[in-house]
Amino acid sequence: MTARTGDDFSALGFLLAPRSVAIVGASDDPMRIGGRPIAAMKTAGFRGRIFPINPGRREVQGLPCFASVADLPEAPEVGIVAVAAKHAPETVAALGEKGCRAVTLFSAGFAETGAEGERAQDEILAIARRHGMRVLGPNTLGVFNAGIGYYGTFSSSLDSGYPRPGPVGIASQSGAYGVHLAVAARERGLGTSVLVTTGNEVDVTVADAIGWMAGSDAVEVICAYQEGFRDGARMVAALEAARAAGKPVILMKAGRSRLGAAAAASHTASLTGDDAVADAILAEHGAIRVRDTEQMLDFAYAARLRLYPAGNTLGVITISGGGGIVAADEAEAVGLPMPPMPAEAQERLKQLLPFGSPANPLDCTAQALNDLSLFDTYARSALAEGGYRSVLLFLTYVAGSPQLAPRLLDSLRRLRAEFPDRLLALCMIAGKDVVALYEEAGLLTFADPSRAVRALAAMGRVGDQLAAAPTRTPRPAVPPVTLPAGTPDEPTAKRLLAEAGIASAPERVVRSAEEAVAAAEALGFPVVLKIVSPDIVHKSDIGGVRLNLVGAEAVREAHDAILAAARRAAPEARLGGVLVARQLSGGVECLMGISRDPAFGPVAVFGLGGIFVEILADVAIRACPFDKAAARAMILSIRAAPILTGARGRAPVDLDALARMLSRLSHFAAGAGPRLRAVDLNPVMALPEGAYALDAVIEIDPEPAR
């Protein structure tokens, strides 16, 4: 697929909101693939023009039918192709010659079948590009745009009902799963105005659909199902368009396994598998990632209120100690702060209800059922004095009580009106009619407190992302980097990095034991000795590294032992001597690295260094390049950051030097181009003054043959 550049998301309007549609392969049978779109559009009252095309019929489902595309009285804005794969190229060409602007290709039998099918798919794209057409599919279930009654889909889900009107848009790489989401949303009572299923994505991708929805007045909340990214830059542009429009993108990416871990021999590759990279980049650009359908619909349901509390905090008012504990546990798990109520407020509430718990959760106990003013006082105090941005009210089956529900509703309506900028959620069990009354009052309702907390936390993350959007700066331009013909040895790698401003410990390459002793004495003891070879990446694994060497005899012995170990373990390896380096101490060992993601390009990883980094996996990941401020934020985001900032009386490391090195590494990666496969700086010694790369591996793909 050829990547598209620039913000041309609006061009999908012909595909997703057409004023006229031709169905090639139209059927009079409303149950057949070529008949379902016509039947659905007639039922839904599509206001545009419908042109069935079938050479064997003069009328289809009560509409005039045309023998060919050429016979149409006008150029349709979109053509639906429901013919066998072998006839698809000529059909797309005919639509292009007629002046059609977009094609939805139901036909299957293309790239999903192998190399021959992929060639046919590429042929269709080339035809479409010649005529300036966009292509959805092939192998797609199509689209619907409920607001205009357009149903360019053959999904049988419409047999059980049409989507409810509402603010949710769904984009899905999988047709069946996308429709599954739409039906689940309908059953949940969520209004879904737009569905786009992208299939093989020869042209139009999930990213394109997200970008179009970002500019659509009909969509306020975007849900997406993604299996893989064909164009990472396009997805980033779409997410930024949604963020600029103030619309959350709730995204489920399937495939959490680290498929990229075996792609290279570096530590970095094992830390930045496909899913880890996607997770970091999606979060950086504002997407809220979910694990399953239930979570996606919960978050979309919560987002319908369009209340996104930046700097979110949670207050829990409960009539049950157990309900409050469950909510508090989940809040801690998802990182949603639950600060206690102010001391003065706690004292006043304690006087009002001595056996209650007014900290947070605020437990007004079952006594509130006898005196609902207690519940109102606790809730009002949490909002006014606690200042919580989100409040969860655990009322369980009490909220559905025929005797208590009307009074609770009156109280909550007043609170909703008095605090319109706060998210109020109820944990309750009641019939659908009663639940609807609470929802009409502007309240979220959940049967489970953990699900409620997760949804409230997600709305806070949306708010934080939207608040951060205006301050974002464009990624800096970087100078090109000239790479050697192949993967270099360690000293060469360090010289290459030194040109980018990345410092390493003083060192020398020697060719004999006596040269090693002289180098050690000049550099100063203790020293480190390491084998030099572009073919041996993990030197310590074969006995190719000796540490803490003091004195001439120790250096001589280590020199000879390292060479012997390398010859035993890797007899075919090219040996370039032995590296003698001053051993630095008194700091914290860190890891910095680069891995090349097939969709998003070079990404940087940072974490604490050493041999256990892959096991602990406490790392931060970010797409390259980025500035020193972003690098500093990465460093401080890892769980072990207090070790760097001076925990338990340790001297803090030089964060400025560490961030400067990480930023420079990101610029080096961005400037090196696609031949750079990976970089590992492990360890980097972060000292109270300065940061130095103690080891460096750069993996480079060979230059292409000319």
Give the DSSP H or E segment for 623. Answer: strand 619-623
Measured distance CA(38)–CA(494) in Å, rounded:
65
Percent of the chain topping pLDDT 90: 83
468 — pLDDT class (breaks 50, 70, 90): confident
**Alpha-carbon dihedral angle through residues 147, 148, 152, 154, given to the nearest 10 degrees:** 60
pTM score: 0.90
Q: Across all residues in the chain, what is the average pLDDT?
A: 92
Q: Is the pLDDT of residue 705 over 80?
A: no
Tokens 């609807």, residue? 436
Burial annotation 494-515 (CB, 10 A radius, 16+ → b, else e): bebbeebebbbbebbbbeebeb
Return the structure tokens found at 321. 């100690």
Q: Is the pLDDT of residue 261 over 80?
A: no
What are phi and psi for residue 4, nearest 5 degrees? -95, 150
- Please state, in angstroms and as integers, the Cα–Cα distance from residue 5 to each residue in 172, 229, 232, 255, 538, following that order: 21, 15, 12, 27, 40
C-alpha atoms less than 13 angstroms from C-alpha of 544 in its C-beta half-sphere: 26
Tokens 């990214």, residue? 229
Q: Within the chain, how many helices (H) and strands (E) appear?
A: 24, 29
Determine the pLDDT at residue 230: 83
Determine the pLDDT at residue 276: 85
Q: What is the mean pLDDT of residues 297-302?
A: 98
Determine the pLDDT at residue 217: 95
Determine the pLDDT at residue 369: 81
- Please state, in angstroms and as integers, the Cα–Cα distance from residue 329 to each residue in 335, 388, 427, following that order: 10, 17, 15
Closest CA to 307 of 231, 221, 190, 229: 221
Tokens 């007014």, residue? 358
Instruction: Tell me the pLDDT tens digit for each residue of 262-272.
Output: 332 333 333 44
Q: Which domains does the chain have, with CATH numbers?
A: 10-152 (3.40.50.720), 155-304 (3.40.50.261), 314-471 (3.40.50.261), 506-582 (3.30.1490.20), 588-700 (3.30.470.20)
Q: Is the pLDDT of residue 260 over 50?
A: no
Determine the pLDDT at residue 268: 39
Q: Greater confidence, 417 or 113?
A: 417
Closest CA to 76 of 124, 21, 29, 148: 21
Q: Is the pLDDT of residue 584 over 50?
A: yes
C-alpha atoms less than 13 angstroms from C-alpha of 140 in its C-beta half-sphere: 30
Return the structure tokens found at 510. 């020697």
Instruction: Tell me the pLDDT tens digit for each residue of 477-491.
Output: 788 999 999 899 999
